[in-house]
Structures are given as structure tokens and as C-alpha cells.
Amino acid sequence: MTHRALRVRDWTADFLFVTGRNDREGVLACLLDLGATRQIADATADLMDGGVNRGFTFSNTERRFSLSWIGPQTSGAEWVNTTVHEIVHVAQAIASADGTEPLSEEFAYLVGDITQGVADIICRLACDHCRKENND
């Protein structure tokens, strides 16, 4: 699993990219520690066990922390699609907590700032040749 912790504004965003072994129990423990209910953790476990091209984001606005999990994907395009989808969820949590209008230029820059923080991972996973070379 590839991990990237970002600081955006005064928010922490942890991104977990499953490229090999999935630390399912560790991710679920982290969710519960962040304040997720058992129901959310169980639904997340089902999602994690459900196949490919999946992801989730859980945010705790009081702690100003988001956890995004991007599971195994079937292609480079799916890595990009799922990662950007989860980036938007993180940006929505930050914007909601900060009162940022989601249709604003400020929101667009926020999405860009988060994307830049994981761009090297996105590029590596989007490239079929790179994934094969790195056994991802």
C-alpha cells in the first residue's frame, strides 16, 4: 500500500493507494479512531472486499482530517478517475468546514492543491508501463 499524508490549509488528508497488500484491519481501525461508527466501518469493509475500481473517503471535521482509500483499479484511467473522485470528496469536506463555496474559483484551487500533493502517485499509477515496472 502506498501512503501519502498531506497538509492542506490546516487540514490533514491521508491517501492510501492499494497497489499490493491491503491493510484492511489497519484501515478499519483508523476509521474507528477518526470517529466513524461501527455501521460506517462495516459498510467500508464490504466496499473494500467488493472488488476493483472502488474508493472511499471519510472526514472528521472536528479533527480536520480526511482518510481516502483507493482500492485496486483495472487500468490507468480507473486510477485517475477514482483518485480524482476521492480528492473532490476531501475538498468538499474542507470547503464545507471552512465555508468555501463549492462553485468558486477558491474551491477549484483547493482541488488543484490536493491533486498536486498526490500527482506523482497518480502519474505512476496511470501509466500501464510504470505499474508493470513497479509491480503495482
Q: What is the pTM of this model?
A: 0.91
| Confidence grade of residue 136 (pLDDT, cut at 50, 70, 90) | low
Count of CB atoms situated within 10 Å of the CB of 126: 18
Question: What is the residue type of 126?
Answer: A
Helices (H) and strands (E) in the chain, counts: 5, 4
What is the structure's pLDDT at 21? 65
Cα R_g (the chain), whole angstroms: 15
What is the structure's pLDDT at 135? 65
Averaged pLDDT for residues 18-31: 81
Q: Inform me whether the pLDDT recorded for 23 exceeds 80.
A: no
pLDDT digits (tens, 9 = 90+) for 66-124: 999 999 999 999 999 999 999 999 999 999 999 999 999 999 999 999 999 999 999 99
Task: Annotate 36-67 with b (16+ C-beta within 10 A) or e (fewer).
Answer: beeebbeebeeebeeeeebbbbbbbeeebbbb
- Evaluated on CA atoms 126, 129, 133, 136, the torsion sign reads positive
DSSP 8-state symbol, 20: S
